Every structure is written in structure tokens, then in C-alpha cells.
Structure 1
Amino acid sequence: MCAGSALRQECGQQYREEYRRCLEREFRRGRAGACSDPSFGERLRQRLGPEPALLGALQEDGPALLARGLRGRPDPGPALRGLAGAFRLLELAAVNLYLFPWRREFGTVQTFSGAYVHSLRPALPEADLVRSFGRLGYEQRDPHRLAITRLPPGPELVAAACGFFACRLECEILVEVVHRLRPRQLRPEELLEARQLAGDVEACVEMLQQQGAASDCGDGADLYQEMPASPEDTGGEDAATLALWRDRGSPRGARDVPRRGWDCCGDSGCGQEPVPSMGNPKPDTSSSSRLFLEQELGRASSPLSALAMGSGSPQVPGEAQDLPSATPQEAPELPCYQLHSCLRRGVLPSYCCTTCQQLHAGACAAGQACRSRHHGQELRSERQQRLWLQRTEVDMLLADSSGPWS
């Protein structure tokens, strides 16, 4: 699996080259059009599944296009199918220019044509369409047409076509998640967030199932998974990618696609109290200390905060909370976390593995393995790290003194 920006870019280049070979192989067989090689499509889908960040390496604005294409849609299923159709048309436009640069009919896109009106415009905002066609050398000449002003080199057209193909596969992955969770109706933002955090279909479905009824709650701030207060706290490219996924957009289904012109090759058959700075806190072994930390998390309304707790139902804002006065027997059962051996005194954790229920330092090899195989979350801000450290130290002392929390 690729890890890191440089390796993802290298993977992206390999897939672009394989995509080009597929196009040219099919062209020699007398077929031209959007990629239809099932083996290549399956290989790329298998890689995209557990590694959604690869989409950004193949199509830089791919995550943002998906998010804006789903904005405001009450049901992402039909919207995703419409987006898949739109990405196929954009891929086809790039392939036509690559294989047939001399054909004049591909030099103009009529924005009043059936394909543009019924498939592209309902699926993506007009500004995104203009930018996407701009990658292929088109510029808007007037309100009714886009025309080629500079034909990009072949490798750029292949890269654009492969990127749109990857976006199409991502839509299919998300459609599968939506289908697996029927009859529950997902909000687009929770679907995209779970996809980015969990990875493949199975893990994504499991995460969304754990949310359960919490999916109807609002998007409150979560102390254990808070949004950074400044660009310096974003933690690099992974946070930037997640921010792209949090963007939102809105399509309708694709239909009535014409069979002639730019869109088809004619030859083709295809309220919280502030928590003070703790320094290096001495954990309180009392139940109320642990419950205070859990209450801080429970007050948040983000659906994904439930997963961080290991609970399916986070506290709904405004609900009465009696946790500080509860006895251990009355408290809900909560997972007990441990500090991995990589965390020496004075070192703050940077990753929480919710599968192993352990905290890891940034350079820990075991933590890197957990990132690739397990569920978890990056602890980006110092406040977030200290809260998790305090909670885990309390867990470990309670386990030493009185056995598992119950």
C-alpha cells in the first residue's frame, strides 16, 4: 500500500501509464472510448478501496469535485450515480482528444447539448465543469460553447482521463456503501467523512453502523477529534485531504446521453467547560475523574465521536447529564486504553488506535502498522493529545488497582 505523498504520486504515475496502455490496446482492436478494461478497473478499485487518498494523487481536485457534487443532496445514492455518469463523459472527452486530435467535432463542446444539459450540469457546479474542461484545453467562448484553444500534450490528456476514471470508481465504491446500509438514509457529509477515516467498504460500513441513530445529531465540536484552530495545527496533507472531503456538492441522475459529437467517439462501441492545561498530569484514580473525561467527549454531538469512545450513541446536546454523580456501577461500559511502550515520560501521543485501544508516539513502528491495518484517529492538537493521555493513564491505573472498568 502506498504511504505518503511521494509514494502516492509514484503509484498515480504507474496507474496513468497502465491506463494509457489499456486505451491504446483497445484502440488497436478497433475500439475507442472511456476505459472499459475490467481487469485494470478492478485493480485500481482494489487499491482505491483501502487508500482513498490515492484519488487525490490521480485527480488533484477529485475529492473536492465529489464533495461539491453531493452538496445538499438528501440521498447520496442517486447523486453518486449521476456523478459517475458525469465523470465518464469527462473521461470520454479527454480520450477523444487523445486518440483523435485531428477530428474537428471534438474541438467544440456545445453547452446546450443533451449530454451537457442532462448529465454534466445537474451533477457538478458550472465552475467545476469549466475548470475540468479547462484541463483539456477548452475555454468558454460564449454562454453556449466551449472551444479548444490549446490542445494539451498527450500525457496530460491521459492523466486527466485516468483521473476522471478514478473519480468514477470512487463513486461506485461509495454507492456500494450506501447500498449496504439501506434502508438507512445517509447524509453526504457523514458518508464522505467515514470513507476518508475508515477506508475500504467493510470498515466504512462498520463505522457508519456504529453511529446508528447518532447520524441524526448535529456536527458539534469533539474534544477528542476537534478541528484545528489554525493552519499550523492541521498536521499536513492528510488534514488538507480531509478538509476537501468535508466540502459538499449536489447532482441528479444522468440520462438522455446523445451518441454523436464531443461526448461520444463515432467509432466506439462503448457548551463545554474549558479544560485547563495539564502539563504532565498526575492521573486521578477516582471514577469521577474518568467520567469527567468521558463526559467531555459525550457532550459533543459529532456522530464520529461515538466511535472514538467505542459507543454507538453519543450524548445528545441538551440531554440531562448525571455522570459526575454516578457510581462506577451506574456508568456505561467504556473501553480501557493503554499507552504503548513507545510513549516515554513527557512524550505526548500522536495516534490513537481504537482497534488495539492503544496510544502511540509519532515515530512508533507499531503505530504506523496500526494506521495501515486498523481503525483509529490522528491526535493533532496538544490539547487533544493531553486529554487522551490523561484518560488513558486513568484507565491503566484503574486496571492495575481494581481490574477492568465495569
Structure 2
Amino acid sequence: MCAGSALRQEHGQRYRQEYRRCLERELRRGRPGPCSDPSFGQRLRQQLRREPALLGTLQEDGPALLARGLRGRPDPVPALHGLACAFQLLELAAANLYLCPWRREFRTVQTFSGAYVHLLRPALPEADLLRSFGRLGYEQHDRHRLTISQLPPMPELVAAACGFFACQLECEILAELVQRLRPRRLRPEELLEARRVAGDADTCVEMLQQLGTQRQADADCGDDVDLYLETPASPEDTRGEHTAPPALWRDPGSPWDVPGRGWDRCGDGECGQELLPSTGNPELDTSSSRLFLEQELSGAEDSPLTIPQEAPALPCYQLHSCLRPGSLPSYCCRTCQQLHASACAAGQLCRSQHHGQELRGERQQRLWLQRTAVDMLLADTAGPWA
């Protein structure tokens, strides 16, 4: 083993241990769930910026998952947002199993549920999803369910959760690089290859800038091959594009940014955080079990969380029947508490008679889709599927 590889292994082990301590510390504070320590996230992010090979140390197939998730996408930024959300759900599944292995509802994943259909499948190929859940002990029970017969060892669950967290951070780093190179649009293959070769994120940007200049010079000399898309011809061509680096779990004004709303609490000796729970479970106490995918936005980092006796009543949104799997909403009706597609007749009626919000950018649309999928999952736990 070369010195660089040995050092990465040492770094990887240190980050896994620190990640585990973060999970357990938040559990003691009553906030079970994935890593929510911003200082740890920032340290790991900075290390990944300098050393992208660390991703493969923390998540062996992480680079391959990113490559397959970005394959065939003309604009990598929306795909990176979708991938980061998918990795966040996978991290949540691993953290739930590590922190609350006794929760039987965590042992089944419904592959026809809103989160699986709308967030996981559009981001990653099905084979990659099955392999990723397989690391957590899930096996395909039938075409509608993944189930666990035997949990993996606890260190493996922590390593998987930390690896999925690192994949989220790498998605953010890549999206940041693309934004720095605007208005040119990189093809995903170029971006990943430059990231692998250059290493440091700043060096990667410089390499791609030089490559873009050379390509443009070659094009000006009559070469008809240009790996970059030039500045859009009109303002309409940029509609819906992102203009700032993503901050997937801290987004003021997003559907998750609700005052007082944070990681779920623990009640009656059980952890309330859950992902894709099995439905129709008579032992699932939905009165003390709420799922939120956003980080704690209002709690102090270093002081224990005071656990309220009653969670505040929050609106639960639903997807209108006009939305097909993989499609994005364009309107949120706050009166009906439903999301609609752009051409939906019921949505047009809501626009004229109800209070609501136009969802203009893809990032905002995906965040609302994510939040609504969670609301629908929570509603499903109250009774069997219709």
C-alpha cells in the first residue's frame, strides 16, 4: 500500500469515528438521525475538496455511483441536486438502523412509496439502489418491498452512513465547480474526469477553464467539436437554472424552513426518525413519530434539546393525481395542500381561487416534492394502503 493510500485510509477511519460520535451525541440530545454537526460537515467537505480520492475510501463505489447518476444528463446541476437528495435518504436509512435497530418498521422499504419513486429512482439506476440498500442488509422480498432478515454489524452501518454523507458533500462540491464555470455548461464526463485528474477543487476549475479556452480557440479555427455549450441565446434559455452553490439542508425560504421545525424527537423510549417505514404496522405510534429530512435550523449546537410534549401541528401536503412519477410540480396550493403540474386543470382553478405559490426553479420544485413525499409517508403510517 502506497503512502498516499495509507494516509487516506487513516483519514477515512478518523472521519468514520467522528461521524459515529456525532450520531450518538445528537441521539443523546433527542435529535436522532443523520449527521447534523456543521463543523464536522465542513471539515470533511474541505478534505474532499483537496482530496477527491477520499470519497472512494469512505464509499468504495461512490465515484461510480456519481458517474452513473450523471450519465446522459445534459446539465449536471439538477442531476447533482437529485443525487444529493437520494444519498441523504440512504444516509438516513443507515443512521436509523444504527441508532434504532429495534424499530421493526425500519426493516422494510416500500419500493412503491412516494420517496422511493419520486426521489430515489429518478436519481440512481435501480441496480445501484438495490446494491446500496443491500449494504444495509436489505434484500428484495418481492417487487414491492425490500426487507431485512439480519442486520449488518454496527460498524458497517456507520461506515455506510458516513459514505453516503460523503457522497452528498461531493455532489455539492461538483455543483459548486459547475457554477464557478458558468455560463459554459460542462458535460458530466468532463467534469468527473477533470475532478479525478486535478484533485484539488481550485486546480480542477483552472484546468477546465484552460480546456474551455483551448476548445474555443480550436472552434474559432474551424474545429466543429466543442465540449462546452456557450452562453444561452436568450434570457429564457436560463430560466429555472441555479445561480448559487447548493446548500441542500439549509435553505431559507424552502419548504423545510419552518420555524421550530427540526429533527424528530425521541418519545416513550423510541426514536422518532424514520425513512420509508412499512405501512399497516399496528405497533407504529404515529403520534410520537414524525419524519423530517431537514437539519435543525433553530436549535443551539452545544446545548441539549428540550423535547416538547406535543409537536406543533404542521400542514401535510399531497401530490395531485396530475403528477406522474419522475415529474416535477409547478404550483403548490396552500389551501388544498396539494402540488400540481403546470398543465393541470385543477391547479389552474387553485391559482384563481386559492392561496398558493408558483414553483419556478427546479431546486425549489425538488425540495417541495421531497417534503411532500415525506408528508405522504407520514400519512401512510396511520393506516394501510388504500
Pairwise TM-score range, normalised by the shorter structure:
0.5 to 0.7
Distance in 2 of aligned mates of 1:201 and 1:167: 15
Name the amino acid aligned to 2:72: G
C-alpha distance in 2 between matches for 1:63 and 1:93: 20
Q: CA–CA distance in 2 between the matches of 1:179 and 1:267?
A: 32
Residue type of the alignment partner of 1:31? R
Alignment RMSD = 2.6
Aligned to 2:350: none
Note the C-alpha offset of 1:25: 0.5
Indicate if the aligned counterparts of 1:141 and 1:147 stay in contact, CA closer than 8 A.
yes
Residue aligning to 1:120? 120
* Residues 99 and 266 (structure 1), Cα distance of their counterparts in 2 relative to 1, 3 Å cut: farther
Partner of 2:275: 262
Q: How far off is 1:34 after superposition?
A: 1.6
2:20 is the alignment partner of 1:20: yes
**How many Å apart are 1:173 and its aligned residue?**
0.4
CA–CA separation in structure 1 for the residues paired with 2:196 and 2:23? 30
Q: CA deviation at 1:263?
A: 4.0
Residue 200 of structure 1 and its aligned partner are, at CA, apart by 2.5
5+ long unaligned stretches in structure 2? 217-223, 228-247, 249-253, 257-263, 265-272, 278-288, 296-386
| Partner SS state of residue 109, structure 1 | strand
CA contact (8 A) 1:95 1:161 kept: yes
Q: Give the distance between the partners of 1:78 and 1:144, measured in 2 at CA.
A: 28
Residues 177 and 201 of structure 2 are in contact (CA less than 8 Å); yes or no, is this contact kept in structure 1? yes
State the partner residue of 1:10: 10
In terms of mean alpha carbon deviation, does 197-206 or 20-29 score higher? 197-206
1:102 is paired with a residue whose SS is coil
2:324 equivalent in structure 1: none
Distance 1:170 1:28 in 2: 29
Per-residue deviation, 1:204 = 1.2
Q: Take 2:111 and 2:226, find their aligned partners in 1: how far apart are those partners?
A: 39
1:186 partner letter: L
- Structure 1 Cα separation of the partners of residues 159 and 290 of structure 2: 23
User: Which residue is equivalent to 1:142?
Assistant: 142
Look up the match of 1:129.
129
Change (3 A) 1:183 1:17: same
Paired amino acid for 2:155: P
CA offsets, 1:176-198, max 9 Å, x none? 00111111111000000111111
The amino acid that maps onto 1:262 is L
Q: 1:347 is matched with which residue?
A: none
Q: Count matched residues.
A: 235
**Contact 2:274/2:291, CA 8 A, preserved across alignment:** no
Per-residue deviation, residues 240-287 of structure 1 (Å, max 9, x unmatched):
xxxxxxxxxxxxx9x999x985248737674xxxxxxxxxxxxxxxxx
Per-residue deviation, 1:11: 1.2
Q: Which amino acid aligns with 1:182?
A: R
Instruction: Report the structure number with the largest CA radius of gyration.
Output: 1
Deviation at 1:7, TM superposition (A): 2.0
User: Which ranges in structure 1 are unaligned for 5 or more consecutive residues?
Assistant: 220-252, 271-406
The C-alpha deviation readout for 1:74-99, integer Å capped at 9, x for no partner, is: 00000001000000000000000001
2:205 is matched with 205
Q: 1:147 & 1:41 partners in 2: Cα distance?
A: 31
Assess, with a 3 A threshold, how the Cα gap between structure 1 residues 91 and 262 changes in structure 2: closer, same or farther.
same
Query: Which residue matches 2:104?
Result: 104
1:54-107 Cα deviation digits (max 9, x unpaired): 111100000000000000000000000100000000000000000111111101
Q: Which residue type is aligned with residue 156 of structure 1?
A: E
Query: In the alignment, is the contact (CA less than 8 A) between 1:31 and 1:267 conserved in 2?
Result: no
- For residues 6 and 276 of structure 2, the distance between their equivalents in structure 1, rounded to whole angstroms, comes to 34
| Cα distance in structure 1, aligned partners of 2:60 and 2:165 | 13
Matched residue of 1:140: which SS? strand
State the shift of 1:47 in Å.
0.7
What secondary structure, in the 3-state scheme, does the structure 2 residue paired with 1:49 have? helix
SS at match of 1:4: helix
Q: Is the 8 A contact 1:139 1:146 kept in 2?
A: yes
CA offset at residue 218 of structure 1?
A: 7.4
**Mapped partners of 2:14, 2:22: distance in 1:** 13
Any residues of structure 2 matched to 1:146-161 within 5 Å, and which? Answer: 146-161=146-161
The percent of aligned pairs where both chains have the same amino acid is 75
Letter aligned with residue 103 of structure 1: R
- Which residue of the partner structure matches residue 182 of structure 1? 182
Structure 1: distance between partners of 2:291 and 2:68: 33
Structure 2 Cα separation of the partners of residues 12 and 201 of structure 1: 19
- Work out whether residues 115 and 263 of structure 1, in 8 Å CA contact, stay in contact via their aligned partners in 2: yes
- Scaled by the length of structure 2, the TM-score of the pair is 0.57
Instruction: Give 1:47's aligned residue.
Output: 47
The DSSP-based 3-state class of the residue aligned with 2:31 is: coil
Query: What corresponds to 1:71 in structure 2?
Result: 71
Deviations 1:106-142 (A, max 9, x none): 0100001111011110000000000000000000011
What amino acid is the match of 2:135?
Answer: R
Aligned to 1:62: 62
Q: In the alignment, is the contact (CA less than 8 A) between 2:16 and 2:162 conserved in 1?
A: yes
CA distance in 1 between partners of 2:179 and 2:186 (Å):
10
Residues 87 and 164 in structure 2, CA contact (< 8 A), matched pair in contact too: yes
Q: Give the Cα–Cα distance (whole angstroms) in 2 for the partners of residues 108 and 198 of structure 1.
A: 41
- For residues 186 and 59 of structure 1, the distance between their equivalents in structure 2, rounded to whole angstroms, comes to 25
Amino acid at match of 2:13: Q
